[in-house]
Structure 1
Amino acid sequence: MTTIDNLWRQLGAPHNPALLPPHFVKSTLPRMGGMVVTLQRGDQLAGIGLLFPRAMASDGMRSYTLRLHEIDQRLSDELVHAALAPTPVRIYRPSDGTTFAPPTTRPAGVWIGLPQAADLPAIAALYRAVWDSQPYPTDLFSAEFGPGTALVATVDGQLAGFLLGFLRFGGAPNAPNELAIESQVMAVDPVYRQHGIATRLKRAQANDALARGLRCIQWTVDPLQLPNALLNFNRLHAIAGAFARGYYPVHNALNLVTASRFIITWLPASAHGRLGLVDGGERPALADLPGVAVLNDGPKLMPAPNDPPYIAIALPPGWTELQRRDLAQATAWRDATDAIFAEWVGWEAGKYVIYAVAHDQAGNHYLIGRPAGSWVWEENS
């Protein structure tokens, strides 16, 4: 971790807008199958690059896009290829990203499509408004970089949201060596959050992935954020079969306590996952789940029977507001639910996959899990 911070400082962080956020480089890039490389000229550091997954051949050979940051002077492509041989790479410099969708007038109402160059300032401004931090470089949306997903949403011609994703190696529990999508960052302007824009962006991403033969989309999410859980599980029919405590080494307005994360997996070609491509997401009642074991009462852990048919984890109301209002209580919630997720959530036999949000008569919400198994990826209905 310290090495990344040192490398980024040599590239002018935090004031170099061409750099990706260091928390992404530390946490998500390696999980995608990417890596950081350094290039030398003699005994001097001459360049730093990020290897992004690009393609996977039928024989399993992996190739990459090298996002190259040079120090002091340009490196020859021959030198770069020689340094990284035998790994197949396509060299990309941030200044290369200049091609976007041709400028056209968007239709009235909600529209989802490819970004135009004129959208880039609004994308960066929306990112800052949501996360209060330096945005991802907008050249990542370009045809030259070739992201896994580059989408914007407009309402009556005004930018209302965006979605950026990368290609990744593996992801699906039944297909660890397939090319997939890492859906990295999405933002929706609060002014337009009653238009279903997040759902539309994610569905557009899934339909595009399926058209390209990609069957898995992954992303990370704070497991205690109810709006995200309702979107991911009840509307998109994605699932969470992995959990990471302290996934991001970051603290900001949305992460005042440990930034733990679910690894969300959406398999839109599966019988379960394709339900998320159309409207009709349900919010089941806790009382309709026979034998469900409720694992916590607020931040207090509850005893559970062996092998229950369902598990339920209570969610705190207003998680972001709770962090701001009562940090000690928020920390207690995080510690308790982290312990539950670490013990119960997983793909392997005896573990549970989170797949829905349910409510009780008092209006409390619960994450619902069922035993892991082939129902996750089966494609027959």
Structure 2
Amino acid sequence: MAGPRTAPPKELGPALLSAERAALAAGVTLRELHDLDAMREARDLLHRVWRPAPDNPVMTPELLLVLAHSGSYVVAVEQDGRMIGTCLGLLSTAGLHSHIAAVDVGAVGRSIGFALKLHQRAWSLARGISTITWTYDPLVSRNAYFNLRKLGAVPAEYLPNFYGAMRDGVNAGTDSDRLLVRWDLTAGPAPRPTPDSGRTGEPPVVALDIGPDGHPVQGERPGDLSQRTVLIRVPPDIEALRTSDRAVATAWRPAVRDVLGGLMAAGQHTVTTFTRDGWYVLSPRLEFDA
């Protein structure tokens, strides 16, 4: 299945080289899976990481096998012959949708996620696919920085409670709001606007910030934001906050849904980047669509 645009051969060579370098830097190898035993091993890894409810498996080996056989992306990350990571991507109308990934706890922090994404990029370009989509929790700042700043993916849609009530060990007890992002594999480097002004030159509007007690605090918003840069802050580590102060962590979901989700739904702004210190930067849409 081809994506919306066939990638020129000149883009595939550099993509393959970048993927090889990223895997080497992470000390891993990546390979596509095709047999049922490997699918069982991938299923077990997914369950160790995501800890689903017993009656609600993340994925079955048989379905993984069917997806791989029909051309989807089913890949293992291996170190010294042992599977330490896995990823599933589904062919879609947009190109490839990266659905779920898992990396063993002991291997986190070694840039394996970056190696996986560059492998996906090369895999997709080799098949004429020029767009990869995926979703992530907009409250997880490390994922926001990785997706938007390091990879240059662009948020396309805010999806409130997308998966409904979650029952796995990672997300249980929280609404499953997600940002759908699109990664254009043939685009040049994304613009990195600084959060200093909009088209009018006025200072940015802080629409959401962190209060002294850790709770979300909505700022005063002028009546017309269409020409203004808007800043939305999220906690530095929402996952730790869910353990240390559940009430504060829970308050952040509706606040971000209201402000970030509301501005994206209004259509006047584009999320252009995410800063290292935890701010979503939304710029007037026409400024970057021109």
TM-score if structure 2 supplies the norm length?
A: 0.75
Choose the corresponding residue for 2:84, options 160, 171, 186. 160
- Tell me the alpha carbon deviations over residues 119-176 of structure 1, each in whole angstroms, 9 at most, x when there is no partner: 3333122211221112312332457632431222112322121111111124xxxxxx
2:14 corresponding residue in structure 1: none
Cα distance, 1:356–1:120 mapped onto 2, change above 3 Å? same
Distance 1:126 1:287, change over 3 A: farther
- Residue aligning to 2:162: 247
Deviations 1:184-243 (A, max 9, x none): 011111211232111111111112212211121111111001221122111111011210
Distance 1:113 1:375 in 2: 38
Quote the residue 2:242 is aligned against: 323
Aligned equivalent of 2:29, options 111, 114, 128: 111
Q: 1:347 to 1:236 in 2, by over 3 A?
A: farther
Sequence identity, in percent? 23
Higher RCO structure (Cα 8 Å, ≥6 apart): 2
Name the SS for the 1:187 alignment partner: strand
Gaps of 5+ in 2: 5-23, 211-215
* Distance change >3 Å, CA 271–CA 375, structure 1 → 2: farther
Q: Residue 293 of structure 1 corresponds to which residue in structure 2?
A: 205
Contact kept, 8 Å, 1:257 with 1:327, in 2: the verdict is no
Higher helix share: 2
- Code of the residue aligned with 2:188 in structure 1: it is A
Give the corresponding residue for 2:220.
Answer: 303
Residues 144, 342 of structure 1: alpha-carbon distance in 2 compared, 3 angstrom cutoff: closer
Change over 3 Å in CA distance of 1:209–1:197 after alignment to 2: same
Per the alignment, residue 281 of structure 2 pairs with 368
Residue 70 of structure 2, aligned match among 146, 150, 153? 146
User: Which residue is 1:136 aligned to?
Assistant: 59
- 2-side partners of 1:272 and 1:224: how far apart? 25
Q: Distance in 2 between matches of 1:246 and 1:235?
A: 26
- The one-character-per-residue Cα deviations of 1:34-84 (angstroms, maximum 9, x if unpaired) are xxxxxxxxxxxxxxxxxxxx6799xxxxxxxxxxxxxxxxxxxxxxxxxxx
Distance in 2, matches of 1:230 and 1:56, equals: 26
Q: Judge conservation of contact 2:50–2:169 (CA < 8 Å) in 1.
A: yes
User: For residues 286 and 197 of structure 2, what CA distance do their matches in structure 1 show?
Assistant: 22
Q: Is the 8 A contact 2:33 2:68 kept in 1?
A: no
Question: Which residue pairs with 2:132 in the alignment?
Answer: 217
Q: What is the alpha-carbon distance in structure 2 between the residues aligned to residue 212 and residue 158 of structure 1?
A: 28
Q: In 2 relative to 1, CA 109–329 (structure 1 residues): closer, same or farther, beyond 3 Å?
A: closer
Q: Report the number of matched residues.
A: 254
- Give distance in 2, aligned partners of 1:322 and 1:144: 37
Contact map agreement 1:347 1:353 (CA 8 A) in 2: no
Answer with 1 or 2: which has the greater Rg.
Answer: 1
Query: What corresponds to 2:258 in structure 1?
Result: 339
Deviation at 1:296, TM superposition (A): 0.9
| Alpha-carbon distance in structure 2 between the residues aligned to 1:205 and 1:144 | 14
- Structure 1 residue 346: deviation in Å? 4.8
User: Matches of 2:205 and 2:182 in 1, distance apart?
Assistant: 24
CA distance in 2, matches of 1:110, 1:268: 23
Q: CA deviation at 1:321?
A: 2.3
**Counterpart residue number, 2:21:** none
Cα 1:294–1:238 change in 2 (3 A) is: same
Change over 3 Å in CA distance of 1:372–1:149 after alignment to 2: farther
Mapped contact 1:147–1:165 kept (Cα < 8 A):
no
Q: TM-score, normalised by structure 1?
A: 0.59
Quick check: 1:141–1:147 contact (8 Å CA) kept in 2? no
Unaligned runs of 5+ in 1: 1-53, 58-106, 171-179, 276-281
Contact kept in structure 2, 1:295 and 1:311, CA below 8 Å: yes
- Closer, same or farther in 2 for the Cα pair 1:218/1:373, shift >3 Å? farther
Match of 1:79 in 2: none
Paired with 1:213 and 1:160, the residues of 2 have a C-alpha distance of: 29
Separation in structure 2 between the aligned mates of residue 233 and residue 347 of structure 1, nearest angstrom: 21
Counterpart for residue 98 of structure 2:
183
Distance 1:302 1:213 in 2: 45
CA distance in 1, matches of 2:185, 2:68: 27
| 1:309 to 1:119, Cα distance in 2 relative to 1, 3 A | farther
Q: 2:66 and 2:178 mapped to 1: Cα distance?
A: 28
- The alpha carbon displacement at 1:358 in A equals 1.0
